[in-house]
Amino acid sequence: MKREDVHSVKIYFVKPIDLINVFINTMIEKEYETYIIGEYDQGKLLKILPQDQRNIVFLCVSNKHDAPKWLECVGKLKEAGNSAIQIGAFAYTSMEPEIKKLFLYNLVSVTPFAELRTNPIEVFKKIFQAFDAKGSRKYIRVAPRDLSDAFIMVQNRNDPVKGKIADLSAAAFACEIDQLYHEYFIKPGIFFENILLHIRGVRIRTAANWWALARRTKIFLYSGTTAPN
């Protein structure tokens, strides 16, 4: 599956303060696709954003002197080539009205640090409702790099069918299988009880139901409980 086919919301925090870091850990545990970006990695972020359909970026404006650089950052984010980028800013409580207006004029939601300290869970809940971020993935999907293969035992075949793992999560994985072997997989309700995943030297045994056939050679399997072997 291509990255742009994953209809989820990517949430980025650029140089978050410690108070927000605590909440970010909770978001990751709840399996929101959440990422922390260093202040000097904005260039990399601008390259990543156009690859996805939905992005939310949070900035932290700690004082009046930082406001101009973050407004400049907002301008770059809006020019990143992706119309579905929403921006929020957590700001020092005594932010001057004229500076706040500049952020609001650029369609940036501004939340004072004081509100965040009072009840961060409720604040983020309201923000995500406003940004329509409820469609986050239940399981975070990652794309393994080299040396990641799946060996699947099928009926009427002594040797396992080998496929290259395209991506995987806590519940499923997708692998690329040669067209010659698709006849073993494209059957409603088929269950594979013996699968070995080999990921960069780590071996994991699992079982899986066939889920769907995607473009060309990618087979999607819904995995059961996995355990290192």
Digit-coded pLDDT (tens) for 85-134: 889 999 998 899 999 999 998 889 898 888 888 877 777 777 777 666 55
Architecture of the domain spanning 3-131: 3-Layer(aba) Sandwich (3.40)
Q: Residue 169 is which amino acid?
A: S
Residues of the chain with CATH 2.30.110.10: 148-228
3-state secondary structure of 103: helix
In the chain, which residues fall in CATH 3.40.50.720?
A: 3-131
9 close to 33: Cβ distance less than 8 angstroms? yes
Partners of residue 66 on adjacent β-strands: none
Distances 186 to 162, 168, 210, 224 between C-alpha atoms, Å:
16, 20, 8, 19
Considering the entire predicted model, what is its pTM?
0.56
Q: Read off the amino acid at residue 75.
A: G
Q: Give the integer Cα–Cα distance in Å for 51 and 61.
A: 26
Summarised one tens digit per residue, pLDDT across range 43-82 is 888 888 888 778 889 999 999 999 999 999 999 988 876 6
Which CA distances in Å does 47 have to 52, 183, 224?
Answer: 11, 40, 35
What's the pLDDT at 65?
93
pLDDT exceeding 90 applies to what percent of the chain? 14
CATH code for the structural domain at 148-228 = 2.30.110.10
Q: Per residue in 190-228, pLDDT tens?
A: 778 888 888 878 888 888 876 544 434 455 555 444 444
Tell me the pLDDT band of 4, cut-offs 50, 70 and 90: very low
List Cβ neighbours of 85 (8 Å cut-off, separation of 6 or more): 49, 55, 56, 57, 77, 78
Q: How far apart are CA 175 and CA 221, in angstroms?
A: 8
